[in-house]
Amino acid sequence: MINEKLEKAFNDQINAEFYSEYFYLSMYAYFDRMNLQGFKNWMNVQMQEEHAHAMGMFNYLNERGGKVTLQSIEQPKSDWSSPLEVFEDVLKHEQYVTSRINALMDVADEVKDRAAVSFLDWYLKEQVEEESNVGNVLKTLKLICNDKNCLYMLDKELATRTFVAPVIG
């Protein structure tokens, strides 16, 4: 069995991960409107990763005898002024998610659930990678400013990103 407070914290994080998927889906729609296929592909991979993150916790909670309680998903933003603004939002969002995973780990610590702490360690490492990937795209976007040729080249590069199903935990 899992502690009730920790169960709630897991359910809140499952919701946050599904929100992340929704958030990136909204960005996917934005890049589709802009006809930036590589950026759209990047968001598609990101959405699949977020889905995997949510399902990883979903399955873990079930495995631990907890109850998964799905919550409504907040409406995400749907308009941005540029790809740069999108990636600024992505970085802010991922930093926020990192702080949430840390807080979730604090709850696991507080209720002395060592198994959950160990499980969540994967998510902490994943956040380091997420922030670094996003930070790299953001740096390039800042460098190229609004140069259309460079944006086109970056779009080509982002088209090569592929989804690899993560092995969580």
Residues that bind ligand OFO (CB under 6 A): 17, 20, 50, 53, 94, 97, 130
* Of 50 and 155, CB closest to ligand OFO: 50
Q: Which is nearer to ligand OFO, 2 or 47 (CB)?
A: 47
The nearest distance, CB 89 to ligand OFO, in angstroms, is: 12
Residue nearest to ligand OFO (CB): 20
Secondary structure element (H or E) that encloses residue 160, with its range: none
CB of 112 to ligand OFO, least distance (A): 25
- The CB-of-156 to ligand OFO minimum distance in angstroms stands at 24
Q: Least distance from C-beta 46 to ligand OFO, angstroms?
A: 7
Q: 120, 104 in Cβ contact below 8 A? A: yes
Q: Which is nearer to ligand OFO, 37 or 133 (CB)?
A: 133
Kindly tell me which of 30 and 151 has the beta carbon lying closer to ligand OFO. Answer: 30
Q: How far apart are CA 124 and CA 119, in angstroms?
A: 10
Q: Give whichever of 7 and 50 is closer to ligand OFO, judged by the CB atom.
A: 50
3 exposed, middle or buried (CB, 10 Å; 0-12, 13-18, 19+)? Answer: middle
Burial class (CB in 10 A: 0-12, 13-18, 19+), 81: exposed
- Separation of alpha carbons 78 and 80, rounded Å: 7
Show the 3-state SS of 84-144: HHHHHHHHHHHHHHHHHHHHHHHHHHHCCCHHHHHHHHHHHHHHHHHHHHHHHHHHHHHHH
For the bound state, the minimum distance from the C-beta of residue 78 to ligand OFO, rounded and expressed in Å, comes to 18
